[in-house]
Amino acid sequence: MNRLSTRRDETIRLLDQTPTDLFKGSRHGDPNGILRLLGQRSAQPRQEHVRQARHAYASHLADELAGKPLDRQLLDRFADQMRGAGPVCELGCGPGHVARYVHERGADVSGVDLSPAMVEEARRLHAGMTFSEGDMLDLDEVDDGSLAGVVSFYSIVHLPADSLPTAFREMRRVLRPGGVALVAFHVGDEIVRPGELWGIPVTLDWVFFRTADVVRSLVASDFRVGEVIERAPYEGVEHPSRRAYCSPVLARNHVLRRLDHFFARA
């Protein structure tokens, strides 16, 4: 297992040594999210291009967690917390492999994605689970305080930086007081445009975030961020970028804070 820094005053636990023998092969995993298939350079008809892209995307993600031990560890712990606690939703679920992983460990989980094609793939691959179209910036089909937990694995990397507060406020709205979230993202301050995935041309942005900026935005949305972990990339398994994981908990008194804010403005 990776060496973990243990200074008590650290907010961020850094996992800097990446084992290279955990996963062998040339397959590259990729964060789940929204494939924006615009301006294709392929001569194929667009419908066939989209079909190939979404099947390739789902196929490459299907078992990506096998090569990511830290991701599995954090999802296992999250599933343990959520088992019997109430409904959970994965925001930006893509083809649903993360939601399926949590579901198989006993949590009552569904998935939401902005892409109809990804929702179709998730339904095809994971019969018996619920997946629906939805925008994590405006979850109009989800009632206030109705969720015990939220998973957002690399979904915020498809948002512009100025949308992050909106996403976290919406996350706050749908979580019950004391609700738990698990948020993963790429660390940095750049925007990466890969141009193609597995030989298929795509127009896709990955927005990287500084960890401190994400934490500040979560805290501003009434979350208590008790743990933040960063790690180096798993070589040969995923895009070679640092990853961060936040485990925020919604403050139990956030409803009172919202009321105080309302009356202060009245």
Summarize the confidence of residues 19-47 as an average pLDDT.
Answer: 36
Q: Which amino acid belongs to residue 184?
A: A
Mean pLDDT of 120-140: 96
Structure tokens at 215: 């934490």
> CA-to-CA distance for 33 and 158, rounded, in angstroms?
7
Flag the least confident range among 46-50, 67-71, 180-184, 233-237: 46-50
Mention every residue, 6+ apart, whose C-beta is less than 8 A from residue 41.
201
Mind listing the pLDDT tens digit for each residue in 84-129?
A: 999 999 999 999 999 999 999 999 999 999 989 889 999 999 999 9
Average pLDDT over residues 31-40: 35
pLDDT (tens digit, 9 = 90+) per residue, 150-165?
A: 999 999 999 999 999 9
Note whether 258 and 42 are within 8 A (CB).
no
What pLDDT, in 10s, does the model give residues 196-219?
Answer: 766 667 777 899 999 999 999 999
* Fold classification of 27-265 (topology level): Rossmann fold (3.40.50)
Asked whether the beta carbons of 148 and 82 are under 8 A apart, the reply is: yes
Pick from 63, 62, 34: which is nearest to 50 by CA? 34
Confidence (pLDDT) at 251: 81
pLDDT of residue 198: 63
